[in-house]
Amino acid sequence: MKGLFITGTDTDAGKTYVSNLILAALRAENVDAVGYKAICCGGREDAYALQKASGGEVELDRVNPYWMRTPAAPHVAGMFENFDLDLGSLTQGCRDLAADHEVVIAEGIGGWMVPISKDYMVADYARDLGLPVILVVGNKLGALSHTLLTIQSMRAMGIEPAGMVFNNLVDELDTATITNKGIAEDLTGVEVITDVIRGQESIEAWPFMELIG
């Protein structure tokens, strides 16, 4: 299975935004790349966006097989809705897409340690998929702590992040947001593949193509 796993430092770090940019860049290079978000909680906007970025050629329920209406972590949403998740199907859905398409960009749910069930986190799901992991950093005050903690957790699981994408959440950068990228690289040794200016509509495909192999 070829692809990338996109996680974030937090909810609303910009995972879907960055995933869509990656999909668009790959498809512009004639790579048959499609998006996958196993679980949506609350709205389903992320799934629709990924479906559109995938060229509209994948059924919505394959892009997003599980949709819970409660805007909470999957574990909590599942309790409220009496929703029984088949954890094995999360990875199988991605593998089924990979059997039909060249590359799958799999987006996580919230941050790295969001509970999917009581004993199964997004981190476990990423490990089970086995794809290179890209960390989307929502660049704001406090991002350094979120970034360091997330990478520390990845490494504790034996996962070395493939790179970071810094997503600038505001137009006017301050001291923290200007310096976060360089400090994060220096403290973690993880390369920032690219940083994204708010509203940016395209990125280069080649760094991601190299990671996918």
Which of 123, 134, 126, 97 has the alpha carbon at shortest distance from 15? 134
> Catalytic one among 2, 15, 37, 52?
37
Indicate the helix (H) or strand (E) that contains 63.
helix 60-63
Residue 181 token pair: 């990228």
Nearest to 125 by CA among 114, 136, 141, 139: 114
- Give the SS3 label for residue 167: strand
d(CA 91, CA 73): 18
Q: Let me know if 2 is a catalytic residue.
A: no
CA distance 43 to 210: 33
Q: 213: helix, coil or strand? A: coil
Active site residue ranges: 37
